[in-house]
């Protein structure tokens, strides 16, 4: 099934056909100002992550992994006219930043999904690459999300629309998760596992941290909550996965979330690893995604280590 035909059933926007122009404001793109099919029609993989610098580095990494001409160092920001998001491409791979938290990723996804629709893209796989706090697993582990859950450990994304609470499913593509896990066996130097990812609206109190400007609970209550999360199958915590899973699922996109853990939250709140260690950790999901893309394109195992 093509992305185009999926959108036909689930762009679920009865008003889109009434407009002669669609301005993707936060991406600085539009249907009248840009030839979106020419620019993006051959995209097969979309990778999104919080940091513009990280997504630029990922595009450069994929440029090398795919053996494209040049060194990729001068990769251009397609959204340079906007200061909200950054977008790069390397062959059939689009690499986009989404900022921090559900509001930021939701805005980007609405406009990205419309971009893919207008560009007539087909059979697109979309993957969020990120960092997270682990639960009961070693720092540096990579978690492939099977289901994104909310702060009550439920597989749902709740959004208020015109004053009503709308609840949407947060299941991700299980075949894609298993394919990623199989690819991880080619990269034995770090642990990779499948588990639930808990998505919160906040980095501090919302994730049970004791070290924010405010804290309304005891360390005992914090540990009791995090242990309940672990018992419910949660293996990592971040701030985007429920919105990502819900939007992609509604629009028929095969989606995955792949995050590295920077610490074990059962052991502490603050991230104390050195910049060098954290940089290497952040490359681990990128290496796994590169292995998947190379396999899909028939290029075999990865040839280049991430820099």
Q: What 3-state DSSP class applies to 115?
A: helix
Picking from 17-31, 34-48, 164-178, 279-293, which range would have the lowest pLDDT averaged per residue?
17-31
Structure confidence at residue 2 as a pLDDT band (50, 70, 90): very low
What's the pLDDT score for residue 302?
65
In whole angstroms, what is the distance from residue 234 CA to residue 147 CA?
9
Picking from 64-78, 147-161, 189-203, 206-220, which range would have the lowest pLDDT averaged per residue?
64-78
What's the pLDDT score for residue 7?
45
Q: Which two tokens stand for residue 110?
A: 């609405």
Buried-exposed string 140-161: b where 16+ CB fall within 10 A, e elsewhere: bbbbbbbbbbbbeeebbbeeee
Beta strands in 150-222 (DSSP E): 156-161, 164-169, 192-199
Mean pLDDT (whole number) for 251-268: 97
Structure confidence at residue 163 as a pLDDT band (50, 70, 90): very high
User: What's the predicted TM-score (pTM) here?
Assistant: 0.92
What's the pLDDT score for residue 62?
96
Mean per-residue pLDDT over the chain, rounded: 92
What's the pLDDT score for residue 3?
43
Digit-coded pLDDT (tens) for 102-134: 999 999 999 999 999 999 999 999 999 999 999
The angle formed by the CA atoms of residues 60, 61 and 65, to the nearest 5 degrees, is 120
Mean pLDDT (whole number) for 52-75: 92
Digit-coded pLDDT (tens) for 200-226: 999 999 999 999 999 999 999 999 999
Give the torsion sign (CA, 171, 226, 188, 282).
positive
Give CA separation, 281 vs 51, 58, 68, 206, 276, in Å: 15, 13, 25, 24, 9
What's the pLDDT score for residue 9?
39
DSSP letter string over 153-171? S-SEEEEEETTEEEEEE-B
What's the pLDDT score for residue 74?
86
Digit-coded pLDDT (tens) for 281-305: 999 999 999 999 999 999 977 654 5
């Amino acid at each position: 099934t093509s992305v185009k035909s999926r959108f036909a059933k689930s762009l679920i926007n009865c008003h889109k056909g009434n407009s002669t122009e669609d301005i993707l404001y936060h991406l600085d793109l539009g249907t009248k100002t840009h030839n979106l099919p020419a620019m993006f029609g051959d995209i097969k993989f979309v990778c999104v992550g919080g940091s513009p610098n990280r997504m630029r580095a990922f595009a450069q990494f994929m440029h090398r992994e795919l053996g494209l001409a040049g060194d990729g160092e001068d990769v251009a920001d397609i959204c340079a006219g906007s200061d909200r998001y950054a977008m790069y491409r390397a062959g059939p791979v689009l690499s986009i930043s989404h900022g921090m938290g559900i509001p930021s990723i939701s805005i980007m996804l609405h406009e990205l999904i419309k971009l893919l629709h207008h560009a007539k893209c087909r059979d697109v796989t979309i993957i969020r690459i990120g960092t997270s706090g682990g639960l009961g697993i070693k720092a540096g582990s990579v978690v492939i999300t099977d289901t994104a859950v909310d702060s009550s450990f439920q597989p749902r994304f709740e959004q208020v629309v015109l004053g009503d609470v709308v609840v949407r499913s947060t299941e991700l593509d299980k075949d894609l998760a298993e394919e990623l896990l199989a690819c991880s066996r080619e990269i034995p130097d770090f642990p990779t596992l499948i588990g639930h990812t808990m998505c919160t609206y906040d980095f501090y109190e919302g994730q049970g941290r004791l070290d924010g400007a405010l804290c309304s609970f005891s360390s005992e209550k914090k540990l009791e909550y995090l242990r309940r999360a672990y018992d419910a199958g949660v293996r990592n915590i971040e701030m985007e996965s429920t919105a990502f899973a819900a939007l992609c699922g509604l629009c028929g996109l095969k989606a995955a979330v792949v995050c590295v853990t920077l610490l074990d939250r059962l052991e502490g709140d603050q991230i104390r690893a050195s910049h060098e260690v954290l940089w290497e950790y952040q490359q681990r999901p990128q290496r796994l995604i590169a292995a998947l893309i190379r396999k899909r394109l028939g290029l075999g195992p990865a040839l280049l280590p991430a820099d």
